[in-house]
Amino acid sequence: MISASLDLMSETLIDNQQDFESLCAEIREAGLVAFDTEFVAEHSYNPELCLMQFATRDRCVAVDPFEMENLNPWWEIMADEEIKVVVHGGQAEIRFCLIEGNLKPANLYDTQISEAFRSRSYPLSYVNLVQRVLKIRPSGKETRTNWKRRPLLPNQAKYALEDVVHMLPIYDDQTKSLVGRGRLKWAVSEIQQMIDDITADLESPGWLKLSGLHRLQPKELVVARELFNWREDEAESRDRPPRSVLRDDLILELARRRPKNSTELLATRDMERDRYRRHIDDLVEVVARAREIPKADLPQKIRTDRQDNSQDDHVIGKLLSLALANRCSELNIAMSIIATSSDLREFVRWSLNGRPADENPSLSQGWRSEVCGQLLTDMIDGKIALRVADPKSDHPLIFEYDD
């Protein structure tokens, strides 16, 4: 096992393809590796990968992706079911694998998610997790570092490697603990769900993620969709962040106004700025095309969770939240990983609609059902009475079944 006191400065920064492929071969032989990345997302269409950090049982090393001809040997490892890749809060690493490697991670373990199944802290930062599990205080991230700049400074490399050097000892501690509690399969299932959700998010229409779409009518929604798609094409071709091409709020405002010409378009606040004026003709054309789309092909009005809820749903959801919080305290599991307020309201609506088998909400499936599904069902069905047993307890409520 790597010592937590490893001299990080003595480790190697790999800057050539041959050594990188040798490292990948070592990782395949080991079958287990910790992985982290440093990237810059502010200046390009996709986040730019700037540094890759790896730790096996015997070695801790960084890789400079700018010097690599081909990173596929690593993405193929991430997609290999036989090799365990340990990350912490690994959303970015998953996205890089999906976007850069066009592959889906197959055997990922996330220490941030896993910790939620044996504590009430989620999400817990890497620094706090290391301190909790290993009783070591890491130096912390170089939060203002320009990771694109070369050469890297010694402190940059040191801090970057510290982000992986402690992961495998934490992995050992967590897996032993979770196996003992019968919860490792819960963590594995939740990690897989995160991978599936990120994959689905990348494949879903991006325009539907614009905030405020529920306020638009179908004839306005189609304009928002076409403007968003134009912005994506323009940003990708220029390798710029999409919002630097046209802000989200301006897409919605132009969708509401549906300007017919440049004069009407420039009447929208902020559109007179130089970075937007250069696109005026293109934007007028996009709106005109959207106006020509037949009514039968317009998007449907978008509903929100709030629109679907009654006042009773909110009240019952709050009662279920109390029950869930008490159950999580009893089991020492983070409530925030189990359900949001929206999840609880979805469960209420599903229950009040007769619990159709083809519309099972997340709280009635998988490990969540094991933790709280029956409790929440019995609460709604009136089979359980709630009372305060010990106000000073971490879980002061008692749920008693009626005879």
Q: In terms of C-beta density within 10 A (0-12 exposed, 13-18 middle, 19 or more buried), how is residue 212 classed?
A: middle
Dihedral of alpha carbons 228, 233, 234, 238, sign: positive
Maximum alpha-carbon separation in the chain: 73
Instruction: Write down the pLDDT at residue 226.
Output: 98
Residue 263 and residue 277 in contact, taking contact as beta carbons nearer than 8 Å: no
d(CA 40, CA 150): 14
Give the three-state DSSP class for 316: helix
pLDDT tens digit sequence for 104-163:
999 999 999 999 999 999 999 999 999 999 999 887 666 678 899 999 887 788 889 999
The CATH class for the domain spanning 207-297 reads mainly alpha
CATH topology of domain 305-401: DNA polymerase; domain 1 (1.10.150)
* Architecture per CATH, 8-203: 2-Layer Sandwich (3.30)
d(CA 344, CA 320): 7
Does this chain's domain 8-203 share its CATH topology with 305-401?
A: no
Strand pairing report for 13-14 and 32-40: unpaired
For residue 399, what are its two tokens? 């749920």
pLDDT tens digit sequence for 295-324:
999 999 998 766 556 777 889 999 999 999
Distances (CA, A) of 164 to 60, 139, 368: 8, 13, 30
d(CA 351, CA 359): 10
Instruction: Write down the pLDDT at residue 307.
Output: 54
The one-letter amino acid code at 160 reads A
> What global pTM score does this model have?
0.91
Where in the chain are the domains? 8-203, 207-297, 305-401
Listed as ranges, residues in the chain with pLDDT below 70 are 1-11, 140-143, 305-309, 403
Nearest to 13 by CA among 59, 72, 78: 59
